[in-house]
Amino acid sequence: MTTLKDIFKKSFLEGYNSTDINVQSVLVALLLTAIIAAYIFIAYKVMTRKTFYSKNFNISLVGVALVTAAIIITIQSSVVVSLGMVGALSIVRFRTAVKDPLDLMFLFWAISTGIICGAGFAEYAIILALFLTVVLWILDHIPLAKVPMILVINASDIDLEDKIIEIMKSNVTYYKVKSRNMTSEDLNLTIEVRTNKASQLVRGLMNIENVISASLISHDGEVTF
């Protein structure tokens, strides 16, 4: 006699068993994942502005997408396999800190690509890749604020700060002294500035007597408003 429990169990297992999974469909899914992951590889290389480009991290994005796709394909074959996979992955601990938010975004992009392609919706992964590229390109080219520069001045006279500030006022649109270090004879200033006259500013500072060096450093870090 068939009980309600048997009916529920049978329907539950049949609902999670896939009869369409074969070697050909697996290869097609992995191939599409690899193509989109290669696009992510190129996008990361183009968009990242790090001084030290991490090729290993970029390669890992492709690997993560393929592995995720393989996992999604596998767990579609059996509910038992899916539960075992969840249990196995629950003991994995990722201890590598992702310091750049952009790296985290690309990592989630690679994982989502593997999930979408593994589930058999590669066209959605392609749409995601194209749409996300357009959005990132637009956001990257929106001029939110002008990136400040760092001016480092070394002088052998501790009474030169007033003269330095006077030269700066005529050559910068904004300045803020970030640090002021003095010894009995030397003065070291670190100043955040915004200027369109970088060369003129440095030349004017170097014309001040007892100024040893003036270095103007630009960066691609966070912008302060």
Q: Tokens for 119, please give them.
A: 């589930």
Task: Give the pLDDT score at 131.
Answer: 95
Task: Determine the residue type at 138.
Answer: I
Task: Give the pLDDT score at 66.
Answer: 92
- For the stretch 173-185, pLDDT in tens is 888 888 888 887 8
SS3 assignment, position 213 = strand
Spell out the domain ranges in the chain.
Answer: 4-140, 149-218
SS3 assignment, position 81 = helix
DSSP state of 52: S
- For the stretch 133-152, pLDDT in tens is 999 888 877 766 566 788 88
Task: Kindly report the CATH number that applies to the domain delimited by 149-218.
Answer: 3.30.70.1710
Task: Give the pLDDT score at 196.
Answer: 81
- First-to-last alpha carbon distance for the chain, in angstroms, is 74
Residues with pLDDT less than 50, the chain: 4, 7-9, 11-13, 15-19, 225
pTM here is 0.63
Question: Residues near 3 by Cβ (< 8 Å), separated by ≥ 6?
Answer: none
Counting DSSP H helices and E strands in the chain, the numbers are 8, 4
